[in-house]
């Protein structure tokens, strides 16, 4: 009996993404694929064409008169509260009434018979403004006296003043770190279907259905129990759908309830890029003191971020930048301050890494500065500063969490070996010394990333499992599928718990009707949280089934075992489906709700102390690049990665996450440039001008490995580690390698101080600058 030996789809096994075939065949259903009921209408946003202004008068008569238009929604049509701010600061109106705060801000929505009609009509508004002065970036906004969007954070440990006093060397500098557009394949979309009384169902591409639900209820002025939000899957989220869907869900729902007809809203790519938030760009001022060996003694950092006009998630994003300003390094004396700066730009938001990558880039810049100053290999500086353990006391972070699971030393050693870093670096230096037009660079950079939402209450999840009387299993959990493979992993956990084949489990859409009060699928915690909640539900059901088996056969519980697709009861072996049928006939309750909350974590923001993270994920990458010093063009010749996912739930999916995250991180730091003109208009608002990495930009040689010896020392789901965000920061090795290649034109005497994204244009300018410096 083959199926008695093992089940198909256990954890720790490669298993393809459950939607892979459907996606390739075009059969995977996204929000826009849902069959539209008769009478469905389409909405489109009308937006501002100034960055900062008072609205004197908004004449929408031409919009209303346009062909196919049914109605126009403005702030006056909002029955409840005109606010969709996720931060609770009430600073994000659906439609502003008095003031425009960024170029492209939504002001009203047209609802028409067709999307095309709505889109054309949205252009016809006649708005009379009083123009106000605007500031676009965090420095000019600070100079103009603009406020912060939320309270800043300070982290402090040790005695910074004394640290600088005793340090032999000291370097101060500034780095500008660019933002990033999410560029998900599927843009924002919401589709609202009105029901009786206050009811409305909203299908929405969102990472955070519960928040969309609460926002819709809030703007409609109805309780949350009137609103259902559903999402089967997203065509990518990357953080861009953690809060930014609120506006679309709200507009669709307001329209649907006002007209009592289904309303769908889907911005085109340009509007998606201009009207929704992105990764925060930062200006970081750093000051680092170090000894003659390159050991860091003191660090001071100011992290100013372009937050845009409202708070959105900028508080926790700028907090996480500070939490990662140490990367994998111990700072004996440290003071870090965030500056969540208000600007007259779109409100920036979550993006893979959630501020962490910006912190890590700043840390790596300091390492580079030290290496150039001391004329050493940056890898030696890195190693000299890695966190230690309880033996050397170099294991406390700037937020006073003790690092207990440090594996960065081993990861880096192994990668250094397998990538032949030292010999290749020596070759490159020799080759560059010949003075050719093409210069090469190589860098090996580490990553340490904290896992948990820093908002502690978010670290909870629920799941719901039904077993039907035919033995088929219906699985639902609070997480959302955005391509990362969460549903596959959670189903593997459940398949293994019941010892049934993966195919027996139906993965269903995420809906606020089944699991309430869920957190965003974010902070890489999807499988950690929902995997555990699902396991809890499965264990409850198994306990009931064991009781039933014992009672029905008069055997002791320890003789009952879940075997592959069977249940063993004493000497009897019953096929799973038969056993379930029996249990149903005996009136066993075959549905269970599971719950999980992350243990051990706590965080006191006021004092800057606590244990915000349950554990850390680690990784390292080594990249070699070549640059053309006459044009600034470059390519990545080879990248080697060793990444730690603990005991992987599904190695092939995790490898896919590592590869994708690396490429996305590389794109952020190299070609993806956001550029606003003086009027505050985003000019890189479409793939024609905004350059994400292409297949041809991947490293010519790409070796990706998971650290198969790693196991989470905390009791996470099957001892795995989160994988979604940490490998994003592996892309930093490309930036550092570019820096080395540039530095070669002046014999590595100066730190090139590249700003990011390091576009070919910036590389060329840096080469020219360094040549002039000599």
Figure out which of the listed residues 78, 350, 669, 737 binds ligand MOS, where binding follows CB under 6 A. Answer: 350
Binding flag, residue 352, ligand MOS (CB under 6 A): yes
Question: Among 420, 725, 755, 768, which one carries the catalytic annotation?
Answer: 725
> Which among ligand MTE, ligand MOS, ligand HPA, none contacts residue 756 (Cβ within 5 to 8 A by kind)?
none
Residues belonging to the chain: 774
Q: Does 354 bind ligand MOS (CB under 6 A)?
A: yes
The bridge status of strand 615-628 relative to strand 602-604 is unpaired
Residue 212 or 288 having the CB closest to ligand MOS: 212
Query: Which region among 232-240, 256-264, 423-431, 690-698 touches ligand MTE (by CB under 6 A)?
Result: 232-240
Q: Which residue is nearest to ligand MTE (CB)?
A: 526
Within positions 242 to 271, which residues make up the interface with ligand MOS, using CB under 6 A? 242
Q: What is the DSSP string of 114-163?
A: SHHHHHHHGGG-EEEEEE-----SHHHHHHTTPPBSS---EEEES-HHHH
CB atoms near residue 719 (< 10 Å): 17
Q: How far is the CB of 586 from ligand MOS (least distance, A)?
A: 44
- Within 508-537, the residues that bind ligand MTE by CB under 6 A are 521-527
Helix ranges (H only) for 375-463 are: 378-385, 408-418, 421-432
User: Cβ closer to ligand HPA: 244 or 271?
Assistant: 244
Nearest to 613 by CA among 475, 450, 733: 450
Q: Which of residues 423-482 bind ligand MTE (CB under 6 A)?
A: 482
The answer to whether 173 and 360 are in contact (CB under 8 A) is no
- In this structure, the dihedral spanned by the alpha carbons of residues 266, 271, 275 and 280, taken in order and rounded to 10 degrees, is 110
Window of 188-196, 345-353, 434-442, 458-466 that interacts with ligand MOS by CB under 6 A: 345-353
Residue whose C-beta lies closest to ligand HPA? 523
5 φ, ψ to 5°? -75, -50
Question: Choosing among ligand HPA, ligand MTE, ligand MOS, none, which partner's interface includes residue 289 (Cβ < 5 to 8 Å by kind)?
Answer: none
Judged by beta carbon distances under 5 to 8 A according to partner kind, the member of ligand MTE, ligand MOS, ligand HPA, none in contact with residue 313 is ligand HPA
Binding characters for ligand MOS, 712-751, by CB under 6 A (x = yes): -------------x--------------------------
CB of 713 to ligand HPA, least distance (A): 21
Q: How far is the CB of 357 from ligand HPA (least distance, A)?
A: 12
Q: How far is CA 227 from the centre of its chain?
A: 26
Contact stretch for ligand MOS (CB under 6 A) within 31-39, 209-217, 350-358, 563-571? 350-358
CA angle, 391 as apex, 385 and 397 as ends, to 5°? Answer: 50
Given 212, 220, 336, 523, the residue binding ligand MOS (CB under 6 A): 523
Which positions from 476 through 495 interact with ligand MTE, judged by CB under 6 A?
A: 482-484, 486
Q: How far is the CB of 521 from ligand MTE (least distance, A)?
A: 5
- Report which DSSP code applies to 455: S
* DSSP string across 178-220: --B----SS---EEEEE-STT-EEEEE--S-HHHHHHHHHHHH
User: CB under 5 to 8 A by kind: which of ligand MTE, ligand MOS, ligand HPA, none does 525 bind?
Assistant: ligand MTE
CB of 349 to ligand MOS, least distance (A): 8
Q: Which is nearer to ligand MOS, 523 or 645 (CB)?
A: 523
The conformational region for residue 317 under phi > 0 = left, psi -120 to 50 = alpha, else beta, is: alpha
What element of type H or E holds 561?
Answer: strand 560-563
Distance CA 132, CA 54 (A): 7
- Containing 64, the helix (H) or strand (E) segment is helix 61-65
551 is catalytic: no
Residue nearest to ligand MOS (CB): 239
Burial class of 38 by CB neighbour count within 10 A (0 to 12, 13 to 18, 19+) = exposed
The partner in contact with residue 344, picked from ligand MTE, ligand MOS, ligand HPA, none with C-beta cut-offs of 5 to 8 angstroms by kind, is none
Residue 352 near ligand MTE by CB under 6 A = yes
Q: Using CB under 6 A, pick the residue from 46, 239, 255, 757 that binds ligand MOS.
A: 239
Distance of closest approach, residue 549 Cβ to ligand MTE, in angstroms: 34
Does 257 bind ligand MTE (CB under 6 A)? Our answer is no
> Kind and range of the H or E element at 41?
strand 41-47
Binding site for ligand HPA (CB under 6 A): 242, 313, 316, 320, 350, 354, 453-455, 458, 520, 522-523
CA 505 to chain centre: 28
- Residue 414 · residue 618 · CB < 8 Å: no
Q: What is the DSSP letter of 94?
A: S
- How far, rounded to the nearest angstrom, does the alpha carbon of residue 552 sit from its chain's CA centroid? 49
Q: Which residues bind ligand MOS (CB under 6 A)?
A: 207, 239, 242, 350-352, 354, 522-523, 725
> What is the set of active-site residues?
725
* Residues at the contact surface with ligand MTE, assessed by CB under 6 A: 236-239, 352, 482-484, 486, 521-527, 657, 660, 724-725
């Amino acid at each position: 009996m083959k199926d008695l030996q093992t089940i198909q789809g256990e954890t720790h096994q490669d298993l393809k993404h459950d939607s892979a075939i459907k996606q390739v065949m075009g059969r995977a259903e996204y929000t826009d694929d849902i069959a539209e009921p008769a009478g469905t209408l389409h909405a489109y946003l009308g937006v501002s064409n100034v960055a900062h202004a008072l609205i004197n008068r908004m004449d929408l008569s031409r919009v209303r008169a346009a062909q196919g238009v049914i109605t126009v929604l403005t702030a006056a049509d909002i029955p409840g509260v005109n606010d969709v701010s996720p931060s609770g600061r009430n600073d994000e109106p659906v439609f502003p009434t008095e003031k425009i705060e960024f170029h492209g801000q939504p002001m009203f929505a047209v609802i028409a018979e067709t999307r095309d009609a709505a889109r054309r009509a949205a252009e016809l508004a006649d708005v009379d403004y009083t123009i106000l002065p605007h500031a676009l970036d965090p420095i000019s906004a600070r100079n103009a006296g603009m406020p912060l969007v939320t309270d800043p954070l300070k982290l402090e440990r040790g005695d910074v003043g004394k640290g600088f006093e005793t340090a032999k060397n000291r370097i101060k500098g500034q780095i500008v770190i660019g933002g990033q557009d999410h560029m998900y394949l599927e843009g924002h979309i919401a589709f609202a279907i009105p029901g009786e009384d206050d009811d409305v169902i909203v299908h929405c591409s969102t990472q955070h259905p519960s928040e969309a639900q609460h926002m819709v209820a809030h703007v409609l002025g109805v309780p949350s129990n009137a609103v259902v939000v559903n999402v089967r899957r997203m065509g990518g989220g990357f953080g861009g759908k953690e809060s930014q869907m609120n506006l679309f869900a709200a507009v669709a729902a307001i329209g649907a309830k006002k007209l009592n007809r289904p309303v769908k809203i889907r911005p085109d790519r340009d509007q998606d890029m201009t009207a929704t938030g992105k990764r925060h760009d930062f200006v970081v001022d750093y000051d680092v003191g170090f000894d003659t060996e390159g050991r860091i003694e003191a660090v001071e950092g100011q992290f100013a971020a372009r937050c845009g006009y409202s708070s959105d998630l900028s508080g926790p994003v700028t907090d996480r930048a500070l939490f990662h300003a140490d990367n994998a390094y111990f700072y004996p004396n440290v003071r870090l301050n965030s500056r969540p700066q208000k600007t007259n730009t779109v409100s920036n938001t979550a993006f893979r890494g959630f501020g962490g990558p910006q912190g890590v880039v700043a840390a790596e810049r300091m390492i580079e500065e030290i290496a150039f100053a001391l004329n050493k290999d940056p890898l030696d500086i890195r190693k000299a500063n890695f966190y230690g353990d309880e033996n050397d006391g170099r294991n406390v972070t700037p937020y006073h969490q003790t690092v207990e699971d440090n594996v960065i030393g081993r990861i880096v050693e192994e990668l250094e070996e397998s990538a032949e870093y030292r010999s290749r670096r020596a070759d490159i230096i020799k080759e560059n010394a010949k003075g050719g037009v093409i210069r090469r660079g190589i860098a090996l950079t580490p990553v340490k990333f904290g896992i948990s939402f820093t908002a502690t209450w978010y670290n909870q999840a629920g799941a719901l499992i039904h077993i039907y009387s035919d033995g088929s299993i219906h699985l639902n959990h609070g997480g959302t599928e955005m391509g990362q493979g969460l549903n596959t992993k959670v189903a593997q956990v459940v398949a293994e718990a019941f010892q049934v084949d993966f195919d027996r489990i139906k993965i269903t859409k995420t809906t606020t009707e089944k699991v309430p009060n869920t957190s965003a699928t974010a902070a890489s915690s999807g499988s950690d949280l929902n995997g555990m909640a699902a396991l809890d539900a499965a264990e409850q059901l198994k306990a009931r089934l064991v009781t039933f088996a014992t009672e029905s056969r008069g055997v002791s519980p320890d003789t009952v075992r879940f075997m592959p697709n069977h249940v063993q009861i004493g000497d009897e072996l019953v096929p799973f489906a038969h056993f379930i049928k029996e249990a149903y006939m005996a009136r066993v309750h075959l549905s269970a709700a599971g719950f999980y909350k992350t243990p051990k974590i706590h965080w006191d923001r006021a004092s800057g102390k606590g244990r915000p993270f349950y554990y850390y994920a680690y990784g390292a990458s080594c990249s070699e690049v070549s640059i053309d010093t006459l044009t600034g063009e470059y390519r990545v010749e080879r990248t080697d990665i060793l990444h730690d996912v603990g005991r992987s739930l599904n190695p092939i999916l995790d490898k896919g996450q590592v590869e994708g995250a690396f490429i996305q991180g590389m794109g952020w730091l190299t070609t993806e440039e956001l550029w606003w003109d003086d009027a505050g208009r985003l000019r890189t608002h479409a793939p024609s001008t905004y350059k994400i990495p292409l297949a041809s930009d991947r490293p010519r040689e790409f070796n990706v490995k998971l650290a198969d010896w790693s196991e989470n020392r905390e009791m996470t789901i099957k001892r795995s580690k989160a994988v979604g965000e940490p490998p994003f920061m592996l892309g930093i090795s490309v930036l550092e390698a570019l820096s080395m290649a540039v530095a070669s034109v002046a014999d590595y005497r100066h730190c090139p101080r590249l700003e990011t994204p390091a576009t070919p244009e910036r590389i060329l300018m840096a080469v020219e600058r360094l040549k002039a410096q000599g």
